[in-house]
Amino acid sequence: MKLLLKAVTIASAIVAAPALAESWTLAPAGSHLAYGSIKKDTVGEVNSFTGLRGHVTPGGKAEVEIDLSSVETNIDIRNKRMIEHVFSKAGTASLTTKFDMAEVSGLSVGETTTVDAQAVLSLSGTDVTFDAEMFMARLTETQVKVSTNDMVFLSTEDAGVNAGVDKLMELASLPGITRTVPVTARLIFNRDEEQAPVAPAPIAVAAVTGDVKAGKKVFRKCSACHKLDEDHHTVGPSLHGIIGATAGQSDGFRYSAPLQKSGVVWTTETLTAFLSDPRGTIPGNKMQFPGLKKDGDIANLIAYLQAETQG
């Protein structure tokens, strides 16, 4: 069931954020995550979670947590058994996912759409890929609602909780509990009021025809912290595919909040501005390099990055 919970949250967060290139925060009061179970072939029950929190970054990365101790089965002893045996006393179920913001970015107030969602759910070391179709409605300029478009079914075996379900059957003297669980979700997301400013206008525009060979030499100043191989992060993030990417959104690297929330897309112009003055262009980011002072070096470096990393 942990899987189900995470799964639903993921999918929902996936859809909730795309509304605009801004950050969004889950509203626990209006959100609801529920799952069902059937015992003895005939007794159906609906359980839910009240502790939900999450957010979506401008780049479309969704991160949602479910407080597993908030499970509500309407019976206190059963709540405790779920937490101890099924969830193995794990505090939260976590999820991460990315989505194509372009799919829903044009929604006006009152409009709806459906989005296919995929995410990774994690609980007690178990990661599960979850797919679902989510329904999204733009309630206001600053609020969206996301829900499961159809009922989602998750396997307790895939979630790694079969042993916990067996224990519940033993404790309650039950002949059987279904191992396929239906899950539904309704998630409300509010647009964050304070949005980080977009990077200022570029200081200079790099030439389209920079010298790749010369740019390779310039890159030596960057190579102590950055690599060009995909997903090869060191002190700094990999620069693979950087041109056209959104700042601070590469998986596997922990970016500073100002960079994550900047909404900057790395183009020739924005890279030119950033490379000339990293701290001044996006205040508060953690990059220690003071910047390149020669326009020619910047142009050549960008030409090299484009030639080496955009394949």
CATH of the domain at 141: 2.40.128.110
153 and 122 co-located in one domain: yes
Using DSSP, state whether 300 is helix, strand or coil. helix
- Cα–Cα distance list, 34 to 70, 92, 160 (Å): 12, 16, 19
Domain match, 241 and 159 both: no
Provide, rounded to the nearest whole percent, the portion of the chain with pLDDT above 70: 85
Distance of CA 308 to the CA centre of its chain: 28
Contact 189, 146 (CB under 8 A): yes
Crossing angle for the helix pair 295-309 and 268-276, to the nearest 10 degrees = 130
Residue 199 in any domain: the answer is no
Please report the pLDDT score of residue 9 as a whole number. Answer: 37
**CATH code of the domain containing 267:** 1.10.760.10
Instruction: Out of 158, 191, 224, pick the residue that ends a domain.
Output: 191
Domain limit, last residue, from 132, 156, 191: 191
**Can you tell me the distance from the alpha carbon of 64 to that of 59, in angstroms, rounded to the nearest whole number?**
15
Domain membership of residue 239 as a residue range: 212-309
pLDDT tens-digit readout, 132-168: 788 888 899 888 888 888 888 888 888 888 999 999 9
- Provide the whole-model pTM: 0.56
Measured between alpha carbons, how far is 75 from 70 in angstroms, rounded to an integer?
13
Position 198 in a domain:
no
pLDDT band of 101, cuts 50, 70, 90: low
- 232 and 167 both lie in a single domain: no
> What pLDDT does residue 21 have?
53
- Bridge-partner residues for 177, per DSSP? 39
Same domain, 161 and 37: yes
For residue 13, what pLDDT is reported? 37
- DSSP class of residue 156? T
User: In terms of domains, do 103 and 226 share one?
Assistant: no
Specify the amino acid at residue 164: G
pLDDT greater than 80 at residue 28: yes
Do residues 28 and 164 share a domain?
yes
Note whether 45 and 166 are same-domain residues. Answer: yes
pLDDT score for 260: 85
